Amino acid sequence: MCGRFAITTPSDAMAQLFSGQPSNDLPNVPNYNVCPTNPVHVVQCGENGRRLVSMRWGFLPHWYGSPSNGPLLINARAETLAQKPAFAEACRQRRCLVPASGFFEWTKADDGSRQPWYFQRRDGGILAFGAIWQSWGGETEAIQTCAIVTTAANAHVAAIHHRMPLVLEPDVWAKWLGEEGHGAASLMQPAAEDMLCYHPVDPQVNSNRAEGEALIEPFHAADTPPGRLL
Task: Give 144-174 pLDDT, tens digit per residue.
Answer: 999 999 999 999 999 999 999 999 999 999 9
Q: Between the CA of residue 227 and those of 122, 123, 140, 159, what are the distances in Å?
A: 17, 20, 53, 11
- Residue 221, pLDDT score: 65
Give alpha helix (H) positions in 3-134. 11-17, 88-93
Instruction: Tell me 112's DSSP state.
Output: S
Contacts of 175 (CB under 8 A, 6+ apart): 181, 183, 184, 187
Say which amino acid occupies 77: R
Q: What is the pTM of this model?
A: 0.94
Burial zone of 20 (CB within 10 Å; 0-12 exposed, 13-18 middle, 19+ buried): buried
pLDDT < 50: residue spans in the chain: 225-230
- The closest of 60, 34, 50, 82 to 133, measured between CA atoms, is 60
**CATH architecture observed for domain 5-228:** Alpha-Beta Complex (3.90)
